[in-house]
Every structure is written in structure tokens, then in C-alpha cells.
Amino acid sequence: MLFVLLRLLPGDPANALLGVGATEAQIAAARTQVGSDQPLLTQFVSFVGNLARFDLGTSFVSKASVLGEIGNRLSVTVPLTILGFLLAIVIALPLGIIAAVKADRWYGAAISIVSQLGIAIPVFWLGILIVTIFAINLRLFPSGGFPLKGWTSFGEAAIALALPVLTVALVIAASLLRYVRSATQDVIGSDYIRTARALGSGFTEALVRHGVRNGAVPVISILGIELATTFLGAVVVEKVFALPGLGSMLLLAIQQRDYPNVQGVLFISTLLVLLIGFAADLLQRFIDPRLRGRAGAP
């Protein structure tokens, strides 16, 4: 489907490659080279054949192997997404629980308000704000870029990711916090907490022993979706911080009508999103025994 949609876009990749000033003969030559003169079906068959062999082809524009380039980009995007995500959990989990449990206190309400604000702020704006504060004014971190040698210069790479990770984390934390809060509220009002307390558990103990486990199930499915969204949404953060990630590769490839690159990135992203969903499912079954039997039940 991706394949057909891409080809429906107006504009010939050959034109995009050559730019203004090309002759008809040059355009025809470029078409032959990128294969856009072939019937759509022929293009599709060769695309699927190569996919089966995990050969994503070579870029029209850079002439480099698509898979190799994606690997390079993932070494930025994956750590950015995962670290941002973990940091978001670290922020959102305790704050969300506090916001639910202490909803009647001023700080409980304050947390809810700030998270609402966090959801409303556009990512790029938050990124620019963070750059202005931590890079330009305080000079604590670089404003953008990634070291030339990548993770070989580990310290530099880690520092380069600090502000982007913070940006990603704050954005996810804001929305995650609301889910944690409502899941906790549901749990607090549930029968089993009341029962546990009746059996002599303190409120905190009941919440930790029974509540977290029950509340985690809906939160994990949300987490799965959030992680996938973050992975795809990292493009904005990558642009603000000039990071050579998967998102910026996709953006450029679309602008240049570089179909092999676009297809490759979308294929790998889809694969990763499916994997994340699968992992979230597994995790839920592990936490909630009731879900385990369901698949095999008549």
C-alpha cells in the first residue's frame, strides 16, 4: 500500500533529482536509472522481491544502501526515544499517583494543571525553549548536533542527547501523567483496595501491593502506543536539535522524492511499531494472569 501511495504523489523523482535546467534527454535518462519509466506493477514486483531478502535497495539521491543508512539513523533515534521514554515514566509515574491520591491538596491540583499545560505546548516550541535556557543562557549543554564519530565518542554523544531526551521526556510525561492519574483514581475507588484496607493494610501498602499491579494494565497499553508515537514523532525534536535521526531522513527523502529511502524508513518504522505493540501485549499478560488464559479459552 505504501508503495502505491508514494507513486501517486505528484512529481517524478527524476525531475526532483535533476532540478531546473535539465533537458528532456537528461530526464529520460534519469527515469531509466531510477526505474520510474517502468510500469507500476513491474516496480512493485521487484520491490516485494527485494523486501523478502531484506534488501531495501539504494537511495536514488545518495546512492547509499538504504538499510545501512537506516541503521546509522537508528543509533540516534532509538536511544533518544527509549531514554526519553524511560525518563518520562520516572517523572510521570510518581507524579501521576500523587496527583490522584492528593487530588484535594494544592500540589495535586498543581500537577494536573501543569500536565494539561504540557500537553498543549507544541514540541518544537518546548525544544526551542529548552535550547534557549540550557544551551544559550546557561551554556550547560550543546544546542544541537551529534558527534561525527557517533557513539564511538560516547561522552560527547551522551551529552548531545541530553536536551533532546529531556524534551521528548517532558512531552510524553505530560500526557502519560494523566493516564496514570486516572488509572490510580479508578484503583483507589475499587473494591479490592477497600477489601485490602479492611483486612488491615495501610493505604500506601494496599496501593503498592494491589493497586500498582492492577493500574498498570491499562497504563501499559497506553505506554505501548505512546512509545510508538514518540518514535515517529521524534522528527520534530531531531529538527530542532539538528540530530541525524530516522525522522530527518524521512523528511528529506520525502522532499526529494527518494522512494527507496521513504519506503525503507516506513517499512522499518512499521516493523518497530508492531514489535512495540507485541512487547506491550506480552508485558500485560505477564502482569495480569487473567489475560494469559484468554487466547486459549474456547
Partner 1 sequence: MNQISIRRALVAAALLGSVAVAPLALAQEFDANATIRIGSLYEPQNLDNTAGAGQGINEAFNGNVYEALFQLTDAGAVEPKLVDSYSASEDGLTYTFKLKPGVTFHSGDPLTAADVKYSIERVTAEASKSSRKKSLSTITGIETPDDSTVVITLSARSISLPYNLSYVWIVNDKATDITASEDGTGPYTLGEWRRGSALALNRNDKYWGSAPSNGEVIYTYFTDATALNNALLTNAVDVITSVQSPDSLAQFSGNPAYTVTEGASTTKELLAWNDRVAPFDNVKVRKALAKATDKAKLLNSIWGDYGTLIGSFVPPTDPWYVDLTGVDAYDVDAAKALLAEAGYPDGFEFTLDTPDYDPHPIVAQFLQAEYAKVGVKVNINIITANEWYEKIYKAHDFQATLQEHVNHRDIVFYGNPDFYWGYNNPEVVKLIADSEAAATVDEQAAQLTEANKLIAEDAASNWLYLYPQIVVSAANVTGYPVNGLNSQFFAYGIQKAK
Contact 50, 128 (CB under 8 A): no
DSSP structure class, residue 192: H
Closest CA to 93 of 211, 4, 181: 181
DSSP string over 235-275: HHHHHHTT---HHHHHHHHHHTT-HHHHHHHHHHHHHHHHH
Which residues is 40 bridged to in the sheet? none
Q: Which residues contact 126 (CB under 8 A, 6 or more apart)?
A: 167, 170, 171
**What's the closest the beta carbon of residue 52 comes to partner 1, in angstroms?**
26
Q: Applying CB under 8 A, which residues contact partner 1? A: 10-11, 15-23, 26, 29-30, 33, 61-64, 69, 72-73, 128, 131, 135-136, 139, 142-146, 148-150, 239-245, 248-249, 251-252, 256
**What's the closest the beta carbon of residue 259 comes to partner 1, in angstroms?**
15
Nearer to partner 1, 10 or 296 (CB): 10
Interior/surface letters 3-23, b for 16+ CB within 10 angstroms, e for the rest: beeeeeeeebbbebbeeeeee
Nearer to partner 1, 150 or 277 (CB): 150
